[in-house]
Amino acid sequence: MAQFLTSSKEISHEYCCTLVKIGEIKPIEGSDFLAVTQVEGRDIVVRKDQVKENDIMFYASNECQLNHDFLSVNNLFEDKTLNINTEIKGYFNKYGRVRMIRLRGVLSMGFLFSIEDMKRWCPKFELDLNVGEDFDTVNGELFVKAYVPPVKEVRHSGTGNKRDKKLKSFDRIIPTEFKFHYDTQQLQRNISRLKPEDSVVISTKVHGTSFICGNVLVKKPIIGGLYDKVFNYLPKFMQWTKEDYDVVYSSRTVIKNKTINNKVSGGYYSQDVWGDYYELLKPFIPQGYTIYGEIVGYLTDSNSMIQKGYDYGCKPGENKLMIYRVTRRVNGETVELNIEEVITFTNCIVDLMSASGMTEESKKIMPYTLLYHGKLSELYDIDTTNHWHENLLELLKNDKNFLMEENEPLCRNKVPREGICLRIDDDVIPECFKLKCLNFLQREAKEVDNGNTDIETEQRY
């Protein structure tokens, strides 16, 4: 029997729906019918008469966009003319965006809906998912995706192909050699995977645009010169290659080398800020190594910021790169450098640049902001046998030592810190968990309200 709830190849686990079991429900002072519960570590305001403890429901996080017909049949649009019953007014805008709202002084983050709500839209629906599992497709139809507001001006973001398909589409890329960065998962959703004895790295999450640069094996034309220049335009039977090392660079989702991706555009606002760091770093990346980092500040020689308000000490026209991950190929396998090795690697690049007479240019490499490295059991003095995961998450969300909910001191402008990243030492699976500040999420929501998106969102979707 075919499944009703499935995950498409393009699912984003940050912007999807999840089957959840409702936990403790607490009353809200001053309200007779509203209460608050937590889902994936986030507060959600609910009606006492509609949501009960242990109920099985669906959850959609902030900045999801839900299926139009589902919202219409459940009379959830604020524009009554879009609802089946035009006498009822809901609270979703015409785009079906899940918004952060404040009710009775409590910030509600996300949207809960019932199995009965789903059946109004899909009468044959049968629940075939386990609690905690994600989906973005219902009965073969896309149900939820990341919300991206209408773009006010044309911005170029590459070919538009999905990330996983891109590497296979480039004849000169060897997919095992060059890899895009993995998706960073939300810490709230993965908190149960942590153990007190885990040794972890906690660092500042900076707000910029992703940069990847690797000196890796590729399929290079066997002859240089004119043959190399016209290689991508030749018929397949005339494309003769050999495996050799070359430096490949990309944004989060787009290969930027024109010799590999001949459809690549001029970049965001026609500026290739990624190309600036490719030119800067390619002489210093050893064969087999790939670096992953975040470019912050301004677009080169421009007053436009990479992320609005987040200057990270840069003057207009300036930017910096923070390297947070490094991999190398050893005997056909990809090996992750640990955090001490990443810091040492970064310092070596800075030293090499200075020794080459590039002292000023070396200042563009931003130090890795390590906040904590050690066992989780030693981070806070809390009981590890009684609600440890819940208490750990609450302490991390409000840790002033990590400047959670504070302004970002790395920036001249007064903007909230984005949050923190947490990685487990020697994790068998390369992964990282992010925990964003509530103040940052509120600011981000206001930007989306105004129709503003960032580089990462537009390139992703």
Residues 109 and 186 in one domain: no
Residues 39 and 132 in one domain: yes
The answer to the question of residue 239 being in a domain is no
Residues 106 and 9 in one domain: yes
CA distance 262 to 159: 10
Across 126-154, average pLDDT: 84
Residues 78 and 170 in one domain: no
CB 136 within 8 A of CB 143: yes
Return the beta strands (E) in 2-93 as ranges.
5-6, 17-21, 26-27, 34-39, 42-47, 56-60, 64-66
Backbone angles phi, psi at 330, to 5 degrees: -130, 115
| pLDDT per residue as tens digits for the range 60-106 | 998 899 999 999 999 999 999 999 999 999 989 999 999 988 888 88
Residues 315 and 175 in one domain: yes
Q: What residues contact 242, with CB distance under 8 A and at least 6 apart?
A: 219, 220, 222
Residue at which a domain ends, from 100, 116, 146: 146
126 vs 166, residue with greater confidence: 126
Residues 350 and 203 in one domain: yes
Tokens of 273: 């800020």
Residues 54 and 176 in one domain: no
Residues 123 and 201 in one domain: no
The pLDDT assigned to 163 comes to 52
pLDDT value at 158 more than 50: no
The answer to the question of residue 92 being in a domain is yes
Sign of the four-CA dihedral 68, 72, 77, 81: positive
Tokens of 91: 């609270």
Where does the pLDDT of residue 167 fall: very low under 50, low under 70, confident under 90, or very high at 90 and above?
low
The answer to the question of residue 241 being in a domain is no
The answer to the question of residue 307 being in a domain is yes
332 vs 56, residue with greater confidence: 56
Q: Give the number of other Cβ atoms within 10 Å of residue 272's Cβ.
A: 20
The helix (H) or strand (E) run that includes residue 144 is strand 144-146
pLDDT value at 159 more than 60: no
The answer to the question of residue 283 being in a domain is no
The pLDDT assigned to 169 comes to 60
The answer to the question of residue 249 being in a domain is no
Q: How are beta strands 419-424 and 199-205 bridged, if at all?
A: antiparallel
Q: What is the DSSP string of 72-97?
A: HHTT-BSSGGGSSSTT---SB-TT-B
Torsion (CA) 163, 168, 173, 177 in degrees, nearest 10: 70
Residues 59 and 112 in one domain: yes
Out of 62-71, 85-94, 248-257, 351-360, least confident range: 248-257
The answer to the question of residue 274 being in a domain is no
CA distances from 367 to 206, 279, 294, 341, 356 (A): 12, 20, 11, 13, 20
pLDDT value at 335 more than 80: yes
Q: Which of 172, 168, 111, 187 is nearest to 143 (CA)?
A: 111
Return the beta strands (E) in 379-429 as ranges.
419-424
CA distance 287 to 246: 8
The pLDDT assigned to 161 comes to 37
Q: What is the gyration radius of the CA atoms in the chain, in angstroms? A: 24
Out of 64-73, 173-182, 339-348, least confident range: 173-182
pLDDT value at 393 more than 90: yes
Look at the chain and report how many structural domains it folds into. 2
Give the domain range for residue 362. Answer: 163-208+292-460
Place of tokens 């998106």: 453
Residues 189 and 42 in one domain: no
The answer to the question of residue 424 being in a domain is yes
The helix (H) or strand (E) run that includes residue 443 is helix 438-449
Residues 78 and 198 in one domain: no
Residues 359 and 452 in one domain: yes
This model's pTM is above 0.75 = yes
